[in-house]
Amino acid sequence: MRARQPDLEGAIERGGVRVHWELFGSGDRTVFFLPAWSIVHARQWKLQVADLARDCRVLVMDGRGNGESDRPLDPAAYADEEYVADALAVMDASGTASAAVVGFSAGARWALGLAANHPERVSSVVFVSPAVRLSNWNPVRQAAMEIFEEDLPEHDGWLRYNAGYWRQHFRDFLEFFFKSALPEPHSTKPIEDAVGYGLETTPEVLIATARAPELSESRATELTGKVRCPVLVIHGDEDEIVLHANGANLAELTGGQLLTFEGTGHCPHLREPVAFNQAVREFVLRPSQAQARRRGPLRKRRALYVSSPIGLGHAHRDVAIARELRRLVPGLEIDWLAQDPVTRVLQVSRERIHPLSAQLANESTHIESETQGHRLHVFEAWRRMDEILLANFMVFLEAVRRDDYDVWIGDEAWEVDHYLHENPELKRAAYVWLTDFVGWLPMPDLGDRDAFLTADYNAEMIEHVERYPRLRDRAIFIGKPEDIVPDAFGQGLPAIREWTQRYYDFTGGYILGADPAAIENRAELRARLEYGEDETVCIASVGGSGVGAGLLARLIESYPAMRQRVPRLRMIAVAGPRIDPASLPRVDGVEVRPFVPDLNLHLAACDVALTQGGLTTTMELVAARRPFIYFPLRDHCEQNFHVRHRLDRYRAGRCMTFEEATPEALATGVESLLSQPVDFAPIERGTAARAAESIAELL
C-alpha cells in the first residue's frame, strides 16, 4: 500500500510514446523527481513523495521504457533529448511553470539538460549519484559497455553488462546490478524492490536504452557551464555504479554544493532516506526558522507518546501507563501521535491527540490489505510497509522539531526506533521504547528465505542497539524474562531471552488497560452490562484491525451449533472499529456490536470467549480468569510463537487453527471449556505503575 495516493495523474504523448505522470500535494512550489534509467520507474521515489508532498507539490513520471509508460524498442527513442522533452511536456500537462528538479543516476543528465537549456523552468537542481560522464566516471563499467554487443565466453562481474546475457539471464543481471548499487548491509528490501521494478520491463527495452545516443563528456562539460540555478550534488563515497569523483567534478563545474554520504552506495534516497529527504527539503524548500523560543527552566514537562495502531491493545496499556505517569509527575502534558483505531481509545479517554496525527499514513489499512482469509504473514507485511513507516517517521520528526518534549515514548513505534538508530544525531530528548515481544521468527512452512530474512532483520536490530546503547534511555519489555521465547534470533545470532535480559528492563507482567479491581465483583459487572444470571454469555472478538473479519464471520455462523450444545448461550460478536457490522452474516440470536471501548469489562463478565491470537485480549481473559479459545492467524509469527508461548506459561487458553474451527468443533470446544474449572496462573499487578516509575525517572 502506498503512503499517499496521487492527487492528480495523467499521461502525455510524444512521437507515439505515452509517458505517465503523477502529482502529489499542493502549493506554489514543486519538486520534480525525474526518472532514471528504464531499469526502474517512478516508484523508486516512494520514500520521498509522501514526505515532501506535505509541504509542496511533488511531480513524478515513469520514464519511457518502464512503469505505466510505453516501451519503444527504437534506441533513438531513448536519447537524452527525448527524456528532457518528456519532462517539459509533463510540466506543461501538470501546470508546472517551474520546479526544483531532482535527477538520479541517468536522470542527472536530463536534469542537466533542463537546467542548462530551459533555465526558466528550473528553480534549483539536485544531482544524485549523477551518471553524467565527466572524467573517470567508472572505467570498469565503461570497459564492459564497450563490449556490450560481443558474444562473451564468461560473464563474471560487470561482464554481465552484455546484450546476450540480458536476453538469457535477465533476473541474474538485475540482482547483480542492484546488489552493486546497494552494497550496504541489510539492503534486502530495496534490492528486492528494485529487481521487481526491473522485471516490469524487458531485456530488449534495456538493450535499446544501452544503444541509445548518450551525452558525451565534452557536451556534458559544456552544459555545466550554462547552469545558473543553485545546485546540490548528493553522492555516496562507496558508489560502485558511478564513482564519487564524478559527482564531485559535477559540483565543481556547476559551482554547486557537494554533500557526500559516507559509507553509502549508489542509491542514497533508498538507503538513507531520512538524511536524503532532509537535505532535499532544506535545499529546495528552505524552511522558515522558529519565531520564538522559551527558556528551558520555564518549559512545562511534556511527553510525546507514539502508540502502534496495529491492534487496540497498545492503546489501552499506554493509557494506563499515561495515567500512572501523571500521578508521578504532576502537571505532565502528554501529546499523542496516533492514528485510527488508537485515536478512538484516546478520544474516549479524553487524551490530547497531536494535530500532526492527521498526516500519518494508515498502518492498519496496510496490514488489512496484506491479509488473505485468516492468513497474515506479519513479517512480510511489515517489510512491505517500509514506505508508510518512513513517511510516518518524518511526521514524527516534524512533531518533535515543532515542539519541545522532555521524553519521547514509543510503544512498538517501529519507525521511530529504526530510523533513530539509523540517524542517532536526531535524538534531542529522552527516548523510551516499549514492546511485548522481541525478535522476528521464521514460519517453518515458508522455507529458507523466510529464515534468512528474519535473521537479517534481527541482526540489523541487534547491531543498532549494541552500537548505540545510549539511544534508548529506557527499553521496557512488558512482561517477565520467562515470557520471552527460548529461541535464537537466527543462525549464529544470540538467544533472544538472554540478549533481551541484557538490554531491557521488565515490568514483571503484562499491562492491562483497566484496574483489575474494577472487575472483581463479577455479579455486579454482569448486571451493569445487562447480562442475565441465567444465560451463558459468549464474546466473539477479533481485535482492533480488520484482519479478523473472516474468523468473526465463521464464529457467527457456528452459533446455531453451539446453541444446540449450550441451550442458554448468548453470543456477542464485536466487530471492532474497522469491520463493518453490515458485512457480517446475520444469524438469529447473535448480537453484532461495533467498536466497544470497554471490551475488557465485557470479557471479564462473559462465561466463555472466542478470540483471535492477539496478546492483549487473551491476557485480559487470563486476568479475568475466563475460559477461551484463540485462533492465531496463519503465518503470524507473533501470534503463533510469542503469544502462544506466554499463554502456555499461564496455562491459559485453548489454541485452535482456523481450519479446525468447524461448527461442530467450536460447539464441542465451548461445551468442554464451560464444564471445566479454570486453572490459570495468577496475573501480576502493578505493572503499569512499574513502567511509569521507570519513565518518570527521566522526567
Q: For the domain that residue 556 is a member of, what is the CATH number?
A: 3.40.50.2000
**pLDDT for residue 140:** 83
Give helix 687-696 / helix 313-328 axis angle, nearest 10°: 60
Print the domain residue range for 527. Answer: 521-674
Q: Decide which of 334 and 135 is more confident.
A: 334
DSSP code per residue over 650-696: TT--EE--TTT--HHHHHHHHHHHHTS---PPPPP-SHHHHHHHHHH
- The whole-number average pLDDT for the span 129-142 is 86
**pLDDT for residue 690:** 97
**pLDDT for residue 314:** 85
**pLDDT for residue 692:** 98
Last residue of a domain, one of 266, 285, 304: 285
On the question of a cis peptide bond just before residue 682, with omega within 30 degrees of 0, the verdict is no
**pLDDT for residue 514:** 63
Q: Cα separation of 49 and 35, whole Å? A: 13
Q: Cα separation of 644 and 628, whole Å? A: 13
- Contact (Cβ atoms closer than 8 angstroms) between residue 192 and residue 175: no
Which grid coordinates are listed for 681? 496462573
Using alpha carbons, select from 89, 93, 112 the residue that is nearest to residue 102. 112
SS3 169: coil
Identify whether residues 507 and 525 lie together within a single domain: no
543: left (phi over 0), alpha (psi -120 to 50) or beta: left
In a domain, 252, yes or no: yes
Cβ neighbours for 339, distance < 8 A, ≥ 6 positions apart: 309, 357, 360, 362, 363, 364
Q: How confident is the model at residue 339 (pLDDT cuts 50, 70, 90)?
A: very high
Identify whether residues 448 and 544 lie together within a single domain: no
Q: Cα separation of 469 and 119, whole Å? A: 49
**pLDDT for residue 139:** 84
Taking the alpha carbons of 209, 211, 212, 215 in that order, is the dihedral positive or negative?
Answer: positive
Residue 20 has pLDDT above 80, yes or no: yes
Q: How confident is the model at residue 145 (pLDDT cuts 50, 70, 90)?
A: confident
Cβ neighbours for 404, distance < 8 A, ≥ 6 positions apart: 294, 299, 302
**pLDDT for residue 291:** 66
Identify whether residues 606 and 506 lie together within a single domain: no
Last residue of a domain, one of 285, 309, 342: 285
In a domain, 182, yes or no: no
Which grid coordinates are listed for 367? 496490514
Q: Cα separation of 541 and 603, whole Å? A: 9
In this structure, what are the phi and psi dihedrals at residue 572, rounded to the nearest 5 degrees? -110, 115
Identify whether residues 253 and 302 lie together within a single domain: no
In a domain, 45, yes or no: yes
pLDDT digits (tens, 9 = 90+) for 291-307: 677 888 888 999 999 99
In a domain, 184, yes or no: no
In a domain, 201, yes or no: no
- The whole-number average pLDDT for the span 136-163 is 88
Residue 225 has pLDDT above 70, yes or no: yes
Identify whether residues 555 and 627 lie together within a single domain: yes
**pLDDT for residue 214:** 86
Last residue of a domain, one of 246, 262, 285: 285
Q: How confident is the model at residue 532 (pLDDT cuts 50, 70, 90)?
A: very high
Using alpha carbons, select from 109, 128, 116 the residue that is nearest to residue 45. 128
Residue 14 has pLDDT above 90, yes or no: yes
- The whole-number average pLDDT for the span 146-160 is 91
Residue 26 has pLDDT above 90, yes or no: yes
Q: Cα separation of 213 and 43, whole Å? A: 26
Q: How confident is the model at residue 394 (pLDDT cuts 50, 70, 90)?
A: very high
> How far does the chain reach from its first CA to its final CA, in angstroms?
38
In a domain, 192, yes or no: no
pLDDT digits (tens, 9 = 90+) for 512-525: 876 666 667 888 99
pLDDT digits (tens, 9 = 90+) for 401-460: 999 999 999 999 999 999 999 999 999 999 999 999 999 999 999 999 999 999 999 999
- The whole-number average pLDDT for the span 57-74 is 98
Which amino acid is it at 308? Answer: S
Which grid coordinates are listed for 342? 488508537
**Percent of residues, the chain, with pLDDT higher than 90:** 89
The CATH number of residue 232's host domain is: 3.40.50.1820
- The whole-number average pLDDT for the span 75-99 is 98
Residue 94 has pLDDT above 80, yes or no: yes
Identify whether residues 404 and 278 lie together within a single domain: no
pLDDT digits (tens, 9 = 90+) for 111-120: 999 999 999 9
Q: Is 219 exposed, middle or buried (0-12, 13-18, 19+ CB in 10 A)?
A: middle
Identify whether residues 250 and 369 lie together within a single domain: no
**pLDDT for residue 570:** 97
Identify whether residues 351 and 491 lie together within a single domain: yes
Q: Which residue has the cell 495502531?
A: 309
Residue 289 has pLDDT above 70, yes or no: no
Identify whether residues 60 and 108 lie together within a single domain: yes
Identify whether residues 232 and 128 lie together within a single domain: yes
Q: Cα separation of 658 and 375, whole Å? A: 9
In a domain, 680, yes or no: no
Identify whether residues 279 and 339 lie together within a single domain: no
SS3 565: helix
Residue 577 has pLDDT above 90, yes or no: no
Which grid coordinates are listed for 1? 500500500
Q: How many CB atoms lie within 10 A of CB 403?
A: 14
Identify whether residues 274 and 318 lie together within a single domain: no
Q: What is the domain count for the chain?
A: 3
**Percent of residues, the chain, with pLDDT higher than 70:** 99
**pLDDT for residue 135:** 77
In a domain, 679, yes or no: no
